[in-house]
Amino acid sequence: MIAERPRTRFTRLRRLRGAGALRGLAAETRLSPGDLIYPLFVTNGAGVRQPIEAMPGCYRRSVDTLIETVAEAAEAGVRTILLFGVPDAKDAEGSGAWAPGEAVQQAVGAIKKAHPAMAVVTDVCLCEYTDHGHCGVIGPNGEVANDPTLELLARTALSHARAGADMVAPSAMMDGQVAAIREALDDEDYGSTPIMAYSAKYASAFYGPFRAAAGSAPQFGDRRAYQMDPPNRREALAEIRADIAEGADMVMVKPALAYLDVIAAARASFEAPLAAYNVSGEYAMVKAAAANGSIDGKRATLELLTGIKRAGADVIITYHAIEAGRWLGEG
């Protein structure tokens, strides 16, 4: 008599988890290198490659060494970069932000010449260029003056468009900044230049490594009077709605990991392309935990980025872009 073999019952869901290829077929969320934007810090000079201590693998670079990094990004399948300037000198207005000879403006032209297929986005803000570290000019009451700042942001965006930027990204969180930039671009025959608005940018504790890298920490006070308060979600939707009405072509939630609910709410409410910024502090935490052996850095990084995509982001701005692009390319 042949003994009856015990039967193991598998549900349809578990059967599709058995092999990697099948898991891929059943995947609901797909992350690819083309979904990623790589942020880069560019400074003046030549041969500059200064490591950023709190952000392993990230550097302040001069234009010549930056081109090498852009080549690495392209090889990893990343098709878009975001430029931040680190100037030599600062003043109260942040006039270096719109100077044609500054590092960002020079980098745009150099990148477009060396890698014409790479899309170049430029951050439009004053904080890296002001001697007080705030995102706008300081009024007589000691607070950031909204309307005088708009003119300077528009001037900065125009300088980037003239240099050849594919898209400009205002991040100062001034009321009306998208409208001011859209009008300035249109008036100067740059109507085809799109705007990616930092629409829901929160006053977050996760920006510390970036501010050290860019030298943009406020010299007094903080930015809570113009960046969003972390408890608020409905306000984020109002900010996004306003930016779309003013002419934003793409909108953003920043940071990403503590604001996945905001990303999901924005995706459910608006049809505009949605970006999420996986910011410097989020990157630094992963790197620190991986360095001390607490987590598998590769798996954790891809899991976090997939989570941001699953929440509804079309595009993810992340310092992990090159390594993640390479890992994704491995299959």
pTM of this structure: 0.94
Residue 12: inside a domain, yes or no?
no
- Is residue 15 very low, low, confident or very high in pLDDT (cuts 50, 70, 90)? confident
Dihedral sign for Cα 165, 223, 154, 199, please.
positive
Residue 24 reports pLDDT greater than 80: no
Collapsing DSSP states into helix, strand and coil, what is residue 136?
Answer: coil
For residue 23, the model assigns a pLDDT of 78
CB-based contact 100:109 (threshold 8 Å): no
Q: Which of 320, 140, 170, 137 is nearest to 242 (CA)?
A: 170
Residue 101: inside a domain, yes or no?
yes
Residue 19: inside a domain, yes or no?
no
Q: Write the DSSP assignment of 21-69 as a string of letters.
A: HHHHHH-SS---GGGEEEEEEEESSSS-EEE-TTSTT-EEEEHHHHHHH
- Torsion angle (degrees, nearest 10) of CA 77, 308, 243, 194: 10
**Mean residue pLDDT across the chain:** 94
Residue 331 reports pLDDT greater than 80: no
Q: Which of 324, 228, 312, 220 is nearest to 275 (CA)?
A: 312
- Rounded to an integer, the average pLDDT of 70-83 is 98
- Is residue 28 very low, low, confident or very high in pLDDT (cuts 50, 70, 90)? confident
Decide if 201 is catalytic: yes
Residue 48 reports pLDDT greater than 80: yes
Helix, strand and coil percent figures for the chain, each rounded to 5 = 45, 20, 40
CB-based contact 313:256 (threshold 8 Å): yes
Residue 249: inside a domain, yes or no?
yes
Neighbour-count burial of 196, counting CB atoms closer than 10 A to its CB (0-12 exposed, 13-18 middle, 19+ buried) = buried
Residue 164: inside a domain, yes or no?
yes
Distance of CA 225 to the CA centre of its chain: 22
> At 185, which amino acid appears?
L
CB-based contact 70:81 (threshold 8 Å): yes
Residue 148, H or E segment: helix 146-163
Residue 89: inside a domain, yes or no?
yes
Dihedral sign for Cα 289, 311, 31, 34, please.
negative
pLDDT digits (tens, 9 = 90+) for 219-276: 988 999 999 999 999 999 999 999 999 999 999 999 999 999 999 999 999 999 999 9
For residue 259, the model assigns a pLDDT of 98
pLDDT digits (tens, 9 = 90+) for 240-252: 999 999 999 999 9
Residue 4: inside a domain, yes or no?
no
Of the candidates 90, 112, 113, 254, the residue annotated as catalytic is: 254
Domain harbouring 55, CATH code: 3.20.20.70
Domains: count for the chain = 1
Q: Percent of the chain beyond pLDDT 70?
A: 95
Residue 13: inside a domain, yes or no?
no
Who's near 213: CB < 8 A, 6+ residues apart? 41, 52, 54, 55, 58, 60, 86, 280
Side-chain-facing half-sphere of 20: CA atoms under 13 Å: 1
Instruction: Take residue 111 and report the two structure tokens written for it.
Output: 């990148």
- Rounded to an integer, the average pLDDT of 279-286 is 98
Collapsing DSSP states into helix, strand and coil, what is residue 278?
Answer: strand
pLDDT digits (tens, 9 = 90+) for 174-195: 999 999 999 999 999 999 999 9
Domain that holds residue 247: 30-329
Of the candidates 201, 287, 298, 309, the residue annotated as catalytic is: 201
